A and B are shown apart, each in its own frame.
Chain A
Amino acid sequence: MLEFRKDIFADERDDNLHEIGQPTQRQDMLGHVTGTSPYYDDHRFGNLLHLKILRSPHAHARIRSIDDSAAARAPGVKRIIRAADVPVNLNTLLSLIQFGKDDEPSLAADVVRYKGEPILGIVATSERAALEAMALVRISYDQLPAVFDVEEALKPGAPSVNATYPKNTFEYYNKYDHQKLRYGDVEAGFAQADVVFEDRYQMSPIEHAPTETNGSIAVPDTNGRFIVYTSTQALFFSLDTSAKINAVPSNQLHFIGGTVGGGFGGKVDTLTEPLSILAARLVGAPVRYRFSRHEEMQFGSPRGGERIYVKDGIMRDGRIIARSVRAYFDSGAYTRLSSYAVVKCAAHIPGPYTIPNVSGDVYCVFTNRTPATAMRGFGVTALDFALECQMDKGATAIGMDPLEYRILNAYRDGDMKAHRREAKNTALIECAQVAAEKANWPLREEFRRMSSRKGEGTARPGIAPDRSRAPAVPAPARAPAAAPQRISYERPTPAALPPRPAPPAPPPRSAPLPPATAPAGSTHGAPRFSSVFGTRRR
């Protein structure tokens, strides 16, 4: 049951709109209830072929030999696809935005690094024929030691999982093996605190488990191009990834997404398109490659399990004056998107609270399991679990009501956040007050009258407003970095809103990165976004 509190923040809103705010029926609902919404697989072809993938049974092994001769002759088999057939057999998803080095093959050539890693594809007249042929393939392996725990993987002597990052961690700015956050002086804060406590939190990997599994159909079309019906969540992201792996110009691929049968982040990795396109190019016929439910469950990328240590220093009056977070993201065998999630996690520390002394160290760690990827709340869900359990412990430790403890420390407009940006447009306090009222969770009067807005409601006892603004360590002066691509359209100023200040001036920029990280020179006409994280190896 849903209700609105239109009275809160009413002065910041113009509510007399026509279509905005209306409970208009979904544009796609009639198709859903009549079974006519088009999903990628809702196409029929007279000569559709089927691609099935032979996957590694081992978590870490060297491929000694492959004998697919019997399989190639099996009934219904049109083609066997091997690593050598893949034009560009090394990629990382975020190479499209110059973030990270290519580290993952589409088909394993020499080493398999997770159970289920694709080794070989079989294109046949039916999925059954392909599976029967697959049983005739003989592969011999030399098993290699595997590591499954994120902290074990960082210890000296741990098996090296990913050849591109031999020390089992993603490299940040070509300088560090993890993403750092430093604000104020946590050690000083812990020394000054009345109560200091640390705890360890462990998320589980999470499978997206959409009711429609990953899949795509690549179809040679009339003018030498390929139509690709796909379940992707990111049409051009998958198109560009497929174009790179197949070494074809991007406009040779015509991607058509359908309604997607649930994504939740599990259909960003472009898991099937590159190989269905390659197969269609090799056999000159439409090819469908779709994950079985077992494949989706175990070999489709989950959100990685994050292990997070949180240490708090708090005062008897309820103020949190120091918080340090050390987190390990389990990226699995390859990078995919976990490297990006780590930075998003660092940006989220210390949670929606104004804390003068904060430090964060977040690692992207490689282990011998299915590579992890984005999943609803990527990089943040795990940290929220850790931080909000930690908040409960802090309140309990000093005998304070857990909700009042949160309202006291909640960030407000004008506070300085740990990533050195001013808090704006905040509403944590109002959410807490409204939820408490709705659930009749008692709050003392002063907490019911606090406000996120500057100069409103009762001030925070004990936290001088200015102290929360200036970080203990003065931020070094910053020169603006290269200007981003100029945009010719004016910023969207919603016509109906009260005149709001000019579009936010670009936030103070950090110093231009040391030359080592400057990209080797943009390869395209317009200045591509500068790589801020690492050079992109050609």
Chain B
Amino acid sequence: MNSLLEIKDLHVSYNGINALRGISLHVEEGEIVTIIGANGAGKSTLLNTISGLVHPKSGEIKYKGELISKKPHKIVSKGIIQVPEGRQVFANLTTLGNLGIGAFLRKDKDAIAEDMEYVFSVFPRLKERASQMAGSLSGGEQQMLAIGRGLMSKPKVMLLDEPSLGLAPMLVNDIFSVIRKVNNEGKGTTILLVEQNARKALAVANRAYVLETGEIIREGAGINLLNDPSVQEAYLGVKPTNLQ
């Protein structure tokens, strides 16, 4: 049986510097899989390679048993959408415009309108800012918009790159419940999540990989890694603070 997403021995380098060194992983349909790792471990590189922005030196990426295309827009049309790191909203479009672009490839007008309402219900702030230029939104508002825009494409697989970046604590919680909701207990969207908030990420994930300098050094069920002392020390902070 094929995995939904299967990566084999992936090597990526930037001008000779190896960012990924033989990564293999798989994501099954309906799973939430998370990848944790320090700055510069290669997490974003991995997501960018899957969505076709970066081309691997060697190795293969298969979606539903087929090699993925080299063109990002073709990959999107297969149902894989990325919410890129650092927001990257279209500053010259309004909030609504950005959400519209999220649904660029969709034709089902009514369903789009419904999803728009859903996004607004998750992030009421966006509704208030609906006709503001996205470039002048606050950092957190832009992050909500980036996630909302990703949701608008109604993807089969969603690649989330640090979705909680710059969000207020209350919203961080919300984001993870949104992730759960979208995943809908495995019946909805499959999620590959890169997060610095490793504690929360591991808590929602079915499975997780630990990435270190371009290599996978651990993998396992989210819960197991969460309780693993070595992971705790390296990625969760030595002393847990009272608020987290």
A binds B: no
- B interface residue numbers (CB < 8 A to A): none
